Amino acid sequence: MSFRKCGGEEAERVWFAGLLWRAFPEAQSENELAELAADVLTSDSRPVTSRTVRNWLRRENAPHFRYVLKVIALVGAETVFQIIDPEVR
């Protein structure tokens, strides 16, 4: 699914799922990615489960902004431009 075929919240969910894959390129499966991301995104006060990450990857739930920021920091600031202009590569 591309940005042109979906809009609004669905486009954001698609973008974030792709961002998770970019943040953890060593992941070979959805389950491995979910475990890696959950470990990195968990804090003492806010645990993140692999189930939650799988829901984000499947676009069933939207992540809180705090997690979006953490994943952007992992991938690099240039990803912010994809939000502003999805045609930027």
47 assigned to some structural domain = yes
> Residue 57 sits in which domain range?
3-84
In this prediction, residue 56 carries a pLDDT of 98
67 assigned to some structural domain = yes
89 assigned to some structural domain = no
43 assigned to some structural domain = yes
42 assigned to some structural domain = yes
Scanning 24-63, the segments in alpha helix (DSSP H) are 30-41, 50-57
The pTM assigned to this predicted structure is 0.79
- State how many domains the chain has: 1
Interacting residues of 29 by C-beta distance below 8 A, sequence separation 6+: none
- State pLDDT tens for residues 37-61: 999 999 999 999 999 999 999 999 9
